Amino acid sequence: MNPYPFIHPKGPSLSTTYDAHDTYLLEGVLPYVDFIEITPDSIFRRRNGISEIQPDILKDLLSVSRDVRFLVHGVGLSIGSWEGFDASYLDNLDLLLPHIDCAWHSEHLGYVKVGGDNLNTMLAVPRTDAMLELLIPRIKTIQSKYGMPFLLEHIVHLLPDYQPEYSDAGFLNLLTAETGCGLILDLYNLECDAHNYGFDIESFLAELDLGAVREIHIAGGAEYLGYKLDIHSGKVADSTLNWTRQALAHTPNAEAVTYEILPEAVRLHGAQFVIDEVARISSYFNFTKHGHQNTSGNPAAADQNAAVLCAG
């Protein structure tokens, strides 16, 4: 029996990042995607010390809300910080979620803060019992707060592991078994680890409970001082597409394959670059757009929001 209640009958759909106001990009990718990935940390701004969604981006999201569902993918939660996760990230989630039809939300299995100090990079958590004790109640708190699936994404390991008590897959398997949370499988992250220190992707996939994978991430990055970085700055390499094809054959619950690209890279390459890449990935996997009926339960609310924003 499959323990996961989210088997997708139609197979996976394509998804891509939208984190900066660019209607040309949004309209260009729309024919190919069923999901749009948004990052609260990117689409919010601060005014007078208060966080708010950038109005032009919210307006863009609402304008396509009948056509796609949204995947909220955070970077600022810092679920692995010893002192606790950053509650202000959840405050922003509380502001965002009423506006959109969010299929699920997710975060990285890592930390970006130490003692309140911002690292400006993300580090992987130690794979230890002590860490599991910290993480499991935090995941459960988040799950019970929001009535939607919560997914965790494994991240690259640039620094040496601190006395690991579990393998990478074994640690993820324990987390998903204990909490029922889903996983994002990021094939590009795995390729970075394979390049940087010989990580064995095949063994990882063989050990991982692939039934827990609900979303797959792909991206293209860059090398620096011989290290492959998960910088999401370019085209997806053939090797990443190959790994993704193999993974899809064993991830029956994967509903979305998300092509991730940083807004900074979109500015650098231009929107057409991203649209072309989304089209190429779509045709590589033979994805078809499934289409959605808006299942947010309250499309009228979205219309109202749009009207308010347009009036403003």
Partner 1 sequence: MQADSSSYERELAQSPSLAVVRDIARWWRAYQLERYCLITSGLLQVQGDFEAAVADFYETTQNVPAWIEDAGDAFLRFIARRPDPVAASLAEFEAALIAARKGELMSGRVIDWNVHPYEVLRTALSQKMANEWTPGRFQTLVSSNIDGYFTVFEMN
User: Which of 143, 167, 173, 196 touches partner 1 by CB under 8 A?
Assistant: 196
Contact partner at residue 2 from partner 1, Fe ion, none, CB < 5 to 8 Å by partner kind:
none
Indicate the residue among 39 and 305 with the shorter CB distance to Fe ion.
39
CB contact burial 61-81 (16+ within 10 A = b; e otherwise) = bbbbbeebbbbbbbebbbbbb
CB contact burial 196-225 (16+ within 10 A = b; e otherwise) = beebebeebbeebbbbbbbbbbbbbbeeee
* Interaction of residue 194 with partner 1, rule CB under 8 A: no
Size of the site for Fe ion (CB under 5 A): 2
Are 204 and 190 contacting, i.e. CB atoms less than 8 angstroms apart?
A: yes
User: Which of 112, 139, 208, 248 touches partner 1 by CB under 8 A?
Assistant: 112
For partner 1, the binding residues in 126-185 under the rule CB under 8 A are 158-160, 162-163
CB contact burial 275-287 (16+ within 10 A = b; e otherwise) = bebbeebbeebeb
Q: Tell me the residue ranges of DSSP E strands in 219-278.
A: 220-224, 227-234, 256-259
* Interaction of residue 10 with partner 1, rule CB under 8 A: no
User: Which of 5, 9, 47, 297 touches partner 1 by CB under 8 A?
Assistant: 47
* Interaction of residue 217 with Fe ion, rule CB under 5 A: yes
Residue labelled with tokens 């759909």: 13
For partner 1, the binding residues in 245-304 under the rule CB under 8 A are 264
User: Which of 34, 107, 186, 193 touches Fe ion by CB under 5 A?
Assistant: 186
Residue with nearest beta carbon to Fe ion: 217
284 phi and psi angles, rounded to 5 deg: -60, -45
Q: Max Cα separation, the chain?
A: 57
Summarize as ranges the residues that interact with Fe ion (CB under 5 A).
Answer: 186, 217
Q: Enumerate binding residues for partner 1 (CB under 8 A).
A: 41, 44-49, 51, 76, 86, 112-113, 116-121, 123, 158-160, 162-163, 196, 224-225, 227, 229, 264
